Amino acid sequence: QSVLTQPLSVSGTPGQKVIISCSGSDSDIGFNYVCWYQQVSGAAPKLLIYRNDQRPSGVPDRVSGSKSGTSASLAIGGLRSEDEGQYYCAAWDDTVNSWVFGGGTKLTVL
Amino acid sequence: DVQLVDSGGAPTQPGGSLRLSCVASGLSFNSYAMNWVRQAPGKGLEWVSAVSSAGGHTFYSDSVGGRFNISRDNSKNTVSLQMNSLRVDDTAVYFCVAARAVASLYPFEYWGQGTLVTVSS
């Protein structure tokens, strides 16, 4: 069972916007930054968002992140077929001095 | 371009040992903390271990502490994970991952391609 809670799946049609939630606690999301990773077809994950809402170079601005209290969200607008894959949130946990991940959310573009 | 090349994964029996290695290129290796993150078949990501950029600090998840040992050789741009007393639930693809430091400020920036460890009798 993952420390951070994500929905198992979300879906949308091309051009739509989807939001993936990530719920944690004070010891992880509450007092630390949240990151988001995308994994496509079992390949190595790719960093999408860091420090709650920052995009690395190369990540389009239709991808955005936010955090409030012990929850975070990843929004992907203007959905495209290549957005299909697994999305994971992650945060440092002060209680166990470890990185913790969400269980992952499968995004399907219908 | 940054490249992390993982190796060392293999089939092994419960109670056995394996040593994973990761060779980095294209980045200032001694400026990065190195991590191992694993993914069991059909499951999500799990952080396993980290070592600071100079090697002086190491971190382990509760699930592997006392059994795994992470080390690095900055002269060879290499990080290793010595895995002992392996269990069936250690079966996973292990990814080598670089981050600026072991802290929430610094995400997992670069990932290796992964190496498969299979523990089975």
Say if the Cβ atoms of A44 and B111 lie within 8 Å.
yes
Determine the pLDDT at residue B102: 86
Of B44, B59, B108, the CB nearest to A2: B44
Q: From chain B, pick out residues whose CB is under 8 angstroms from the CB of A98.
A: 47, 59, 61-62
Task: Quote the distance between the C-alpha of residue A109 and its chain's center.
Answer: 16
A37 touches chain B (CB under 8 A): yes
Q: Are A7 and A106 in contact (CB under 8 A)?
A: no
- Helix H, strand E, coil C: the string for A45-72 is CEEEEECCCECCCCCCCCEEEEEECCEE
Low-confidence ranges of chain B (pLDDT < 50): none
Determine the pLDDT at residue A3: 86
Q: Give CA–CA dist A101/B37, Å, rounded.
A: 10
Count of positions (residues) in chain A: 110
Say if the Cβ atoms of A2 and B104 lie within 8 Å.
no
- Reported as a single tens digit per residue, the pLDDT across B110-120 is 999 999 999 99
Determine the pLDDT at residue B104: 79
Q: How confident is the prediction for chain A on average, in pLDDT?
A: 95
Determine the pLDDT at residue B109: 96
Q: Give CA–CA dist A43/B59, Å, rounded.
A: 25
Chain A residue with CA closest to B107: the answer is A50
DSSP secondary structure, B28-79, as one string: -GGGSEEEEEEE-TT--EEEEEEE-TTS--EEE-TTTTTTEEEEEETTTTEE
Q: From chain B, pick out residues whose CB is under 8 angstroms from the CB of A35.
A: 107-108
A80 touches chain B (CB under 8 A): no
Low-confidence ranges of chain A (pLDDT < 50): none
Longest dimension (CA), chain B: 41
Determine the pLDDT at residue A5: 97
Determine the pLDDT at residue B99: 96
Determine the pLDDT at residue A42: 79
Say if the Cβ atoms of A91 and B35 lie within 8 Å.
no
Mutate to test the interface with B, among A99, A100, A105 (most CBs of B within 10 A): A99
A24 touches chain B (CB under 8 A): no
